[in-house]
Structure 1
Amino acid sequence: MIVFVWMALFDKNRWITQWQLQRTIYKYEKEKSRLNKDIVNTKEQNKDVVRDVEKFGREKYLMTKNDEDLFIIAVE
């Protein structure tokens, strides 16, 4: 019984510490998963940009050629 109380309250590997560490590990694994998804999305966007640079410039930065007019339609 004394060993049980000692481990629960005074040991450096007590239950509260272990629970906090498990929570931290879970949080970081969740963040790692999110970041991996972001990496996949960024790689896909990079492939799209490399394939069609002109389309990317026109859509993202509203670039036009010298003899073109640009009309922006705002949807409300």
Structure 2
Amino acid sequence: MTLKQFRNKPVVKIITNKYVLILGTFIVWMVFFDENSWLNHREFNKEIEKLQSEKEYYKSEIKKDDALIKNLDDKEELEKFAREEYKMKKENEDIYIIQYDTLEKK
């Protein structure tokens, strides 16, 4: 097969068309090298998804804290919370803290 016969094939004519070459170069540039490339967009989308999941987590934590704050309006609940979380006590009262050993003994 000579070079002239090779150039006359339809696939080679399409590939060597100047518009196809320019379009191919443009696509490669936009996907890999441009500031707004597809790779950057993919990275930004992953970051957006991560931030949205964090947003949902913090919203649920805020709801839990709001429920706790409403619950602590009651004086007895506030006293119970202070005793359990901060080991507070009343005057003339002894508190015994029991800790369980979680390590296995050999």
Shorter-normalised TM range: 0.7 to 0.9
Map of 1:36 onto structure 2: 59
SS in 2 for 1:50: coil
**Structure 2 Cα separation of the partners of residues 64 and 58 of structure 1:** 6
Letter matched to residue 16 of structure 1? L
Map of 2:39 onto structure 1: 16
SS in 2 for 1:71: coil
- Based on CA coordinates, which of the two structures has the bigger radius of gyration? 2
Instruction: Report the CA distance between 1:62 and its aligned residue.
Output: 2.0
**Structure 1 Cα separation of the partners of residues 47 and 80 of structure 2:** 43
Which 4+ runs in 1 deviate beyond 6 A? none
Q: Please show how residues 1-76 of structure 1 align to structure 2 within 5 Å.
A: 1-51=24-74, 52-76=77-101
**Structure 2 Cα separation of the partners of residues 73 and 20 of structure 1:** 50
CA RMSD of aligned residues (A): 1.8
**What is the aligned length?**
76
**Structure 1 Cα separation of the partners of residues 95 and 70 of structure 2:** 26
